[in-house]
Amino acid sequence: MPPKPVLDWRPDAAVGYHHFHPDRSLNFQCNRWVQWIGPEAIDDVAAVARSATEYSQWIDGFLAAAGQARSEGRRLAGAYYDRAAEFFMLPTDPRRRPTRERFVGDMRELFEVQPEGVPYSGGTLPAYDLTPAGPVIDTVLVFGGFDSYIEEFLPLATAISDAGYRVIAFDGPGQGGALEDHGIAMTPAWERPVGAVLDHFGIDHGVTAIGVSLGGGLVIRAAAFDPRVRRVVAFDVADDELDLVARQIAPGAGPVLRTLLAVRAHRLIDLAARRAAARRPVSQWGLWQGMHITGTRTPHEFLRAAAATHTRDVSGRVSADVLLLAGANDHYIPLGQLERQAANLTAARSVTTRVFTAADQAGNHCQIGNVGLAVRVALGWLDTVRAAAR
């Protein structure tokens, strides 16, 4: 078997953040897949981006790229191109499930892993237990956010494991196999899936938890209620989901949506959301995706679920060491959420923040372009806080 395609986090290994598409959201997605595949993907992704002005063209282009990559023996690229295509398929698209299954199957074979099923809410959460070859420094939980598949992060999880950590990477409610195979919808009460995973693996000691994207807010919630989470990496902060959703609908939409939700103006919310969706494809996709993830049927139900996903009433309960990571140019999460979260962590043992910039090639969401830098920062921070606790 060829070596596993682990994330190379050496300083000279950054793939960089590139300009592929004039649409900021699509350009980010292009960079997202290049990050995990490597520089070999740049020409492929650029070719798809040049001809994709609509989501249907994006989907068809990446499906074709996936087939071509597989025919050339580039299985990792083929897997991520399938994921790129599937990402923008509506839940009703008949191509979605087989495309997802190709991605998940290829990633499991490439990394030689199979998930354990963690019992939860009448179904199971898929969890990968990665152990290092030598002594275990610490146990690290890794999970994603709004619509992630944990298999996407296997290069990251494996790199952390190779550095000496036991890594348990899992899909929680509303994510990956938990949602698509077991119908478990998103919940803001993230201490429940984290607790289920820790209980399943018999872990009663302090662990480190890394939450990616919206997971950066979910991990704060978990640490607030489960004392076994002693070290936290918010790998973007995401302290209020409604702010993030509103930002994608229209500039300044947040306060208006909160007022409409407060007075239960459901019909007006649904009308406004559908009009926004008609104007902006990313809004249309986001609403469909959001309803799918949260198990809701209307825009106002989804927005109410998003409004419930925040940390402002629990951050003050966190007693762990906390590392907050953010991008100065993050088009999903405004930098102000980092400052607000840091201020709200009043009982934390320590709070460390790091803002990445365009000069780092890591200034956008989740440091895409130079995720290796974020890994180096996080592992260095872990060494520091663990030494201080001895």
Compute the distance between CA of residue 311 and CA of residue 300 in angstroms, rounded to an integer.
Answer: 21
Q: Which domains does the chain have, with CATH numbers?
A: 22-109 (1.20.1440), 117-240+309-389 (3.40.50.1820), 242-307 (no CATH)
The pLDDT of 362-379, averaged and rounded, is 97
How much is the pLDDT for 187? 95
pLDDT at 238 exceeding the cut of 60: yes
Query: pLDDT-based confidence at 58, cuts 50/70/90?
Result: very high
Q: Say if CB 285 and CB 58 are below 8 A apart.
A: no
The arrangement of strands across the sheet holding 350-356 comes to: 116-120, 123-130, 166-170, 139-143, 207-212, 229-235, 321-327, 350-356
In terms of C-beta density within 10 A (0-12 exposed, 13-18 middle, 19 or more buried), how is residue 259 classed? exposed
Lowest mean pLDDT of 71-85, 208-222, 252-266, 345-359, name the range: 252-266
Share of the chain above pLDDT 90, in %: 85
Q: Helices H, strands E: what count in the chain? A: 16, 8
How much is the pLDDT for 254? 86
How much is the pLDDT for 111? 97
Q: Say if CB 139 and CB 28 are below 8 A apart.
A: no
Beta-strand relationship, 166-170 and 207-212? unpaired
Containing 286, the helix (H) or strand (E) segment is helix 281-294
Q: What is the DSSP string of 90-142?
A: -TT-TTHHHHHHHHHHHHHHHHT--PEEEEETTEEEEEEEE--SS----EEEE
pLDDT at 374 exceeding the cut of 60: yes
How much is the pLDDT for 1? 56
How much is the pLDDT for 2? 65
Mean residue pLDDT across the chain: 94
Q: What is the pLDDT of residues 110-127, one digit of tens each?
A: 999 999 999 999 999 999
How much is the pLDDT for 385? 97
Report CA 135 to chain centroid distance, whole Å.
Answer: 29
pLDDT at 3 exceeding the cut of 90: no
How much is the pLDDT for 225? 98
Strand partners, 118: 125
How much is the pLDDT for 227? 97
Task: Establish how many alpha carbons lie within 13 A of residue 141's alpha carbon, considering only the half-sphere containing its beta carbon.
Answer: 38
For residue 377, what are its two tokens? Answer: 């920062």
Query: pLDDT-based confidence at 128, cuts 50/70/90?
Result: very high
Containing 229, the helix (H) or strand (E) segment is strand 229-235
Beta-strand relationship, 207-212 and 229-235? parallel
Torsion region of 298: left, alpha or beta (phi above 0 gives left; psi -120 to 50 gives alpha): beta
The pLDDT of 296-322, averaged and rounded, is 96
Q: Give the sign of the dihedral formed by CA 64, CA 67, CA 68, CA 74.
A: positive
Compute the distance between CA of residue 270 and CA of residue 249 in angstroms, rounded to an integer.
Answer: 12
How much is the pLDDT for 294? 96
